[in-house]
Structure formats: structure tokens, C-alpha cells
């Protein structure tokens, strides 16, 4: 049995679209029909549906042999003991510094991505204070709680709708396929055939 941890939100939709486009209708159909189930088994593959941020934990703990999560999630983890194996061709977005148009100095920054933000401004030699938030981060800049935010930007719609502009792009983000370190060796054949079946070429590893 191969266990695959999937995040439940937009990345699940992207994953289903991706595997469906590669002819994997059996998995796509089962995942689309899951309703509120958090575990779906299709022949010898068990999918477990978790919060995006928890995918690496289920893989590191050995519950899942494979995980599909965003590179932003992986960048926020300290000392994650998994194989960061393959880039996947979906989940594209990027990290950005954004603020009101007239703001030019950033002393206070709100973000969900504290580690990424700290590393970015440290690298620039800029001392900032960081206010961690769990979501709707743009609001912190709108109500002047902070000078700027660091958040994910995909289409730019949320920034534009809230009168904010992207000031600096920090780095690109995409979905990644990670594996449990032990399973990578003990289940290498089934892991390789799963990667091929979802439509990613093995020599991408
Ligand atoms: N506009 C976006 N906002 C947030 N994440 C995005 C966006 N576009 C792509 N992503 C990618 O999708 C991942 C989040 O998708 P995921 O399925 O984990 O949860 P979600 O859609 O944010 O829903 P949830 O509210 O459950 O977290 C991010 O880690 C990032 O890699
Ligand atoms: O550039 P866009 O296409 O507008 O996408 C970017 C927005 O999408 C996410 O919000 P979401 O509501 O998914 O999550 P949140 O609760 O973290 O704000 C992210 O946090 C940005 O706010």
C-alpha cells in the first residue's frame, strides 16, 4: 500500500486536474467523490486529505510515503527530515512584499510566512519587526497596522481589490512532491511508478 498525503484546498483541485489531464481518471474520480472523507483508497493507493501545512508532518512521521504540498510550506519548516523530490507543474504563485502605493519605508511587516520574511529582510540587511497573522494578511496594511506585508500573490486580485501594490517579488512558488526518507528506499519501485503514473517523468528526479 502506498499512502499519499494531499492538502485539501486549492492544491487538491490542481492535483485532480493534473492527474485527470494525464488520464488518471480512477484517482481523480475517487477524489472528486470524496465528500467529507479524509481517507480514500483506490486499489493499492491510499490518499489522506490534510491541511496544507501538515502534509510534511504526515510524511516525516512515516504515515504518508509521499506528500504533495507547496514550496512555501516547505520553506517555512525548520529541519524537515523528508526528501524534497520533484517539482510539480501546478500551484504556481510567488511571494511578494506589498504595501499601499505611497509607503516607501518598511519597519513593521505582517505575514503568515515568518521564516521566509525574516530571511528575506536579513539578506537585505534591513531590520524589520514582524507581526505574524494566520490569514487575510492584506487587511493589516489596509488598516495601517503595518507598513507592508509579505504574502502569496497569484493573480494580484486581492492586492488590487484592497488598494495595495506589489513592491518586491521575493521568489516563485510551486507544488512539490516530497517523500518519507525511509519509504524512498523501502518503497522505491511503487513510489517511482506513482510518480510516472501521475505524469511526472522520473528523470525529473
Ligand atoms: N493564491 C494562493 N493563495 C495561497 N496559496 C496558493 C495560492 N496559489 C497557489 N497557492 C499554493 O497553494 C497552497 C495552498 O493550497 P492548499 O490546498 O494547501 O490550501 P488552501 O487552498 O490555501 O486552503 P486552506 O484554507 O485549506 O489552506 C499554498 O501553499 C501555495 O503553495
Ligand atoms: O493574487 P491572488 O490571486 O489574489 O491570490 C493571493 C491571495 O490568495 C491567498 O488568499 P486566501 O484567501 O486563499 O488565503 P488567506 O486566508 O491566507 O488569505 C493569499 O493569502 C492571498 O491573499
Half-sphere exposure of residue 144: CA atoms within 13 angstroms, side-chain side: 2
Band of the pLDDT at 192, cuts 50, 70, 90?
very high
Joined together, the cell numbers standing for residue 2 give 502506498
pLDDT tens per residue across span 17-27: 999 998 888 99
Q: Is the model's pLDDT at 158 over the cut of 60?
A: yes
* Ligand 1 pocket test, candidate residues 5, 8, 11, 159, most atoms within 8 A of CB: 11
Instruction: Return the DSSP state at 131.
Output: E
- Give the closest ligand to the alpha carbon of residue 139: 2
pLDDT tens per residue across span 63-76: 999 999 999 999 99
User: What is the pLDDT at residue 24?
Assistant: 83
Query: Where exactly does CATH 3.40.190.10 map onto the chain?
Result: 2-91+174-198, 93-173
Joined together, the cell numbers standing for residue 107 give 519597519
Average pLDDT, the chain: 95
Inter-residue contact 47 to 4 (CB < 8 Å): yes
**E strand spans, the chain:** 2-7, 39-42, 45-50, 66-70, 82-87, 93-99, 108-111, 129-132, 148-153, 165-173, 175-180
Atom of ligand 1 nearest to the CA of 91: 9
Domain formed by 93-173, architecture: 3-Layer(aba) Sandwich (3.40)
pTM equals: 0.94
User: What is the pLDDT at residue 204?
Assistant: 54
* Percent with pLDDT over 70 in the chain: 98
User: What is the pLDDT at residue 84?
Assistant: 87
Atom of ligand 2 nearest to the CA of 160: 4
User: What is the pLDDT at residue 205?
Assistant: 55
CATH number for 2-91+174-198 (one of 3.40.710.10, 3.40.50.450, 3.30.930.10, 3.40.190.10): it is 3.40.190.10
User: What is the pLDDT at residue 199?
Assistant: 87
Atom of ligand 1 nearest to the CA of 13: 17
176-186 in b/e burial notation, b at 16+ Cβ within 10 A? bbbbbeebbee
Amino acid at each position: 500500500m502506498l499512502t499519499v498525503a494531499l492538502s485539501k484546498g486549492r492544491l487538491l483541485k490542481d492535483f485532480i486536474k493534473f492527474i485527470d489531464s494525464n488520464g488518471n481518471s480512477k484517482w481523480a474520480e475517487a477524489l472528486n467523490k470524496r465528500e467529507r472523507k479524509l481517507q480514500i483508497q483506490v486499489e493499492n493507493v491510499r490518499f489522506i486529505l490534510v491541511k496544507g501545512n501538515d502534509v510534511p508532518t504526515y510524511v516525516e512521521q512515516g504515515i504518508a510515503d509521499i506528500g504533495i504540498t507547496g514550496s512555501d510550506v516547505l520553506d517555512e519548516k525548520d529541519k524537515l527530515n523528508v526528501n524534497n523530490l520533484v517539482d510539480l507543474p501546478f500551484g504556481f504563485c510567488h511571494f511578494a512584499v506589498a504595501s499601499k502605493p505611497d509607503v516607501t519605508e518598511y519597519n513593521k511587516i505582517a505575514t503568515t510566512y515568518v521564516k521566509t520574511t525574516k530571511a528575506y529582510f536579513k539578506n537585505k540587511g534591513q531590520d524589520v519587526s514582524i507581526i505574524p497573522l494566520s490569514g487575510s494578511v492584506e487587511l493589516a496594511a489596509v488598516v495601517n497596522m503595518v507598513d507592508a506585508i509579505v504574502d502569496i500573490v497569484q493573480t494580484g486580485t486581492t492586492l488590487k481589490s484592497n488598494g495595495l501594490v506589489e513592491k518586491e517579488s521575493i521568489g516563485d512558488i510551486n507544488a512539490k512532491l516530497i517523500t518519507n526518507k525511509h519509504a524512498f528506499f523501502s518503497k522505491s519501485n511503487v513510489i517511482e511508478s506513482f510518480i510516472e503514473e501521475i505524469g511526472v517523468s522520473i528523470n525529473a528526479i
